[in-house]
Structure 1
Amino acid sequence: MFNVNEYFEGKVASIAFNTAIQTATVGVMAPGEYEFGTSEFETMTVVSGALTVLLPDEKEWKTFTASEVFTIEANQKFKVTTIVDTAYLCTYGK
């Protein structure tokens, strides 16, 4: 069954599901700035729109657009900004 979550007063919404090999979420973000934490390794793929991301231990923000991917190790925090509604796919584990 799907697990639906909302964060940041409904500005970020995700639906969790299981793929054949790992857990995943697909979601959307409204324009804004957000900080997330990881509990396990994550791979994020931008589906549409764009995310500008400040990854752990980085000093410069980097923008990822549709079909681009970034990863975050477990137990890290990272910041994200978006100026347009943006969709993403996040898979968990290596």
Structure 2
Amino acid sequence: MCAKTAFLRSLGVEVHASGQRRWPEEVKGRIVAESLEPGATVNAVAARYGIQPNQLTAWQRKAKDGALVLPAPEPEADDAVFAPLVVCDAPE
């Protein structure tokens, strides 16, 4: 088994003997989200996962139309919110 096939299977992609692949919706969403990151290109992300750029563009279109759910963005360190802590003396 080649490294690319092992990588894809580790993501949950079904790889058939004919070479056909069945991508889980969650994985498609993560790949689309990765392609939308600042500085990312469709060609580079598609090459990383061994898919054609037009396939990734089709998944992006599905996401835009609401047919593919993207994962929630990871909160950044600057987005941390702190609540004030009020300490009172114990009642007598």
**Which bracket does the TM-score occupy, shorter chain normalised?**
under 0.3
Larger RCO, structures 1/2 (Cα 8 Å, 6+ apart): 1
Normalised by the length of structure 1, the TM-score is 0.27
CA radius of gyration, larger in: 2
Please state which structure has a larger fraction of its residues in helix.
2
